[in-house]
Structure 1
């Protein structure tokens, strides 16, 4: 006897049914020229060799290199049997952090028909999921820094796969790592990390050493003095990004994104409020925009100078997990297994805003017509679905 697989055949709350139907309808839209991949996309990174391509880490245990214009998959990096949650890219290798507590390394290939297998595995560095990766080239050594759900930061020799240092000042899982562009030299760098308890910490790394330093940059503390973390949010911090001025932008589960100003001791001077968790953030220096990715499926564009919401890009039908700026285009990835592209060119932005206003006006007119019509409930639902399909 065959078994039903349609979720509508099983007990569900009315809210769950409505969400499922809404996502099924929204999944048909073509906003952002979606590129459909085979599994949920958990992270993305730019291709250092080709601005028209990106790397995406997937729940299916693979990383793929994808051409943004054609949607062609030019190379597949396979090996893990668990979701790849984060990635980093050097000039020669792709690195993927995995749910299996391991980091994999693959040699970069410009094109490959067959899946590329790992040439190196970084093991015994974490006791829980790997959640963040950062590649840092120094004059005498290439470093790979990993952050895990075990609250540890591990520093590796990226070329040999050897574990160099383990840093354990965080109390909860490390979710974000970023390089401080104003405290970097050929011999050593400063990085910032953030965790699920909202703490942001600072570290100094060289080819031979790794230690925490005070967030303020004051390195004259006594040996007995503990470095205090920076606390700017109420809960988890998912992303850290620096702008050209050296100020740090953050994205948090407290439903805000903030700009922390270096010269003011990392005090926040901008707060962008969202309806749900903010998963990622990017700064468009040329256009004066801040772009955020949200768990509510939306990608938002904010005026950097005023902090006002300028436009919302709608198209994804599941949580947006990451974004990149590629020239004048925002590239976003999602649990819905699609890559989408949104132009920031003035004429394209003007057109996008006009289309959104027209859509909102049309939806309002439909809702008014439904509320005053004599249509049956089924007819009203069909009309609403037709309007959604037009989106």
Structure 2
């Protein structure tokens, strides 16, 4: 007997049918200049020396480099040789594809030091895969977690390249990238899975190519237990312990998906409770700004130049907030499935989604102003149409009542 995978051949609720129809209709839009890939996109990152491209992780187990704009892309020198320029590339082209995993890739990290040019991908298979970023040659595979790897981070300390991984097993592991040896396992703080990692910029250089020269590094971790915890990693990597073990930062009601430090050193967080918060360093990581996005928030970014905060998540919208006032300024709409990742390149917001598209949204004053005006005109048009329909309906009701009265008088 043949079997069908067509959803129309199975029982579906009216809500499910309506949602399928909505997404099918919305999928045809060209908002954000969509670049379409072959499977769900679960993460996105960029490389500081690779302008005009991003790296994405897919549910099909593939990592890839995607060109965002037409133009010549030049890689920086690697070791003692220079990688040839990549010219005549087309927007949306996957110039580099990294193969190997057969399970979904959830997270990515790039080593940005001059002596190491690697891309790392966390996988559902509980391991971390790595490749040479430019040649695509497979490198070391890191095994040690007992559940999905959900977050990755690269740092450089005292000449050593260190990979930090967070997992659904609630542990954080520090790895020596060169040897693959586990340096430390941080466990006992979080009670549920790790969802994101971020290094305190006041304890680590802001430039990704700089060498750390402090006495210690502070690592922040966020998890599905709604807790944000801090860890102190010594400069010589001999110790790594949690800071104030009995005092996790608790500012959200449920899972914290994203951690992002702004230029002032304050921490912006995105949560499944539907909010984005700014945790003030001066106030001991208490929230001094709360932006109510309205649904699970998967990502947050801060545009320092324009003074905007951008949030995105399950409701498919990209929301732009005034950082100073906390007021919603504009909503970009285009994705037709949950947004899973976001980053800023200059003043361009790049978003990726389960809908398998990469989209771009400009925060440049002229472009944002145009988008805001068009959205306002569209809203006014809808409101006017609704008012006209309401007026027509009201006239029809009045006429019906008048007719009923006349008919009643004739019968008397």
Give the shorter-chain TM-score range.
Answer: 0.7 to 0.9
In 2, Cα distance between equivalents of 1:160 and 1:365: 66
Match in the other structure for 2:107: 86
Match in the other structure for 2:359: 340
Which residues of structure 1 form unaligned runs of 5+? Answer: 216-225, 374-391
Match in the other structure for 1:24: 24
SS at match of 2:282: helix
Match in the other structure for 1:211: 240
Deviation (angstroms), 1:163: 1.2
In 2, Cα distance between equivalents of 1:144 and 1:363: 51
Match in the other structure for 1:77: 98
SS at match of 2:221: strand
1:301 and 2:330 equivalent?
no
With the length of structure 1 as denominator, give the TM-score of the two structures: 0.87
Which residues of structure 2 form unaligned runs of 5+? Answer: 70-90, 205-211, 394-412
Asked if 1 retains the 8 angstrom alpha-carbon contact of 2:293 and 2:311, the reply is no
In 1, Cα distance between equivalents of 2:236 and 2:108: 22
Asked if 2 retains the 8 angstrom alpha-carbon contact of 1:48 and 1:90, the reply is no
Matches within 5 A, 1:319-330: 319-330=338-349
Kindly provide the CA deviation profile for residues 36-70 of structure 1, in whole angstroms up to 9, marking residues without a partner as x: 01110000001222221110011010111011111
SS at match of 1:182: coil
Deviation (angstroms), 1:328: 1.3
Matches within 5 A, 1:40-189: 40-69=40-69, 70-91=91-112, 92-109=117-134, 116-123=136-143, 125-168=144-187, 169-184=189-204, 185-186=212-213, 188-189=216-217
Note closer, same or farther for the CA distance 1:117–1:368 as it changes in structure 2 (3 Å cut).
Answer: farther
Note closer, same or farther for the CA distance 1:194–1:307 as it changes in structure 2 (3 Å cut).
Answer: same
Deviation (angstroms), 1:119: 1.0
In 1, Cα distance between equivalents of 2:353 and 2:180: 30
Note closer, same or farther for the CA distance 1:370–1:27 as it changes in structure 2 (3 Å cut).
Answer: farther
Q: How many residues align?
A: 357
Note closer, same or farther for the CA distance 1:149–1:355 as it changes in structure 2 (3 Å cut).
Answer: same
In 2, Cα distance between equivalents of 1:367 and 1:335: 33
SS at match of 1:230: coil
In 2, Cα distance between equivalents of 1:211 and 1:170: 15
In 1, Cα distance between equivalents of 2:379 and 2:11: 34
Note closer, same or farther for the CA distance 1:122–1:5 as it changes in structure 2 (3 Å cut).
Answer: closer
Match in the other structure for 2:74: none
Deviation (angstroms), 1:250: 0.4
Deviation (angstroms), 1:9: 2.9
SS at match of 2:273: coil
- Tell which deviates more after alignment, 89-98 or 364-373: 364-373
Kindly provide the CA deviation profile for residues 248-299 of structure 1, in whole angstroms up to 9, marking residues without a partner as x: 0100011111000011111110000022011010011111110111210001
Deviation (angstroms), 1:227: 4.0
SS at match of 1:272: strand
Deviation (angstroms), 1:170: 1.2
SS at match of 2:141: strand
In 2, Cα distance between equivalents of 1:369 and 1:39: 44
Match in the other structure for 2:14: 14
Kindly provide the CA deviation profile for residues 278-322 of structure 1, in whole angstroms up to 9, marking residues without a partner as x: 101001111111011121000100000000000001000000111
In 2, Cα distance between equivalents of 1:120 and 1:60: 20
Matches within 5 A, 1:245-264: 245-264=264-283
Deviation (angstroms), 1:370: 6.8
Kindly provide the CA deviation profile for residues 335-363 of structure 1, in whole angstroms up to 9, marking residues without a partner as x: 10100000011110111011112222333
Asked if 1 retains the 8 angstrom alpha-carbon contact of 2:32 and 2:359, the reply is yes
The CA RMSD measured in Å over matched residues stands at 1.7
Kindly provide the CA deviation profile for residues 355-385 of structure 1, in whole angstroms up to 9, marking residues without a partner as x: 1122223334555677768xxxxxxxxxxxx
In 2, Cα distance between equivalents of 1:4 and 1:33: 34
SS at match of 1:183: coil
With the length of structure 2 as denominator, give the TM-score of the two structures: 0.83
Kindly provide the CA deviation profile for residues 224-258 of structure 1, in whole angstroms up to 9, marking residues without a partner as x: xx442111111100001111111101000111110
In 1, Cα distance between equivalents of 2:127 and 2:15: 38
Match in the other structure for 1:199: 227
In 2, Cα distance between equivalents of 1:129 and 1:213: 22
Asked if 1 retains the 8 angstrom alpha-carbon contact of 2:232 and 2:243, the reply is no
Asked if 1 retains the 8 angstrom alpha-carbon contact of 2:293 and 2:319, the reply is no
In 1, Cα distance between equivalents of 2:140 and 2:120: 9
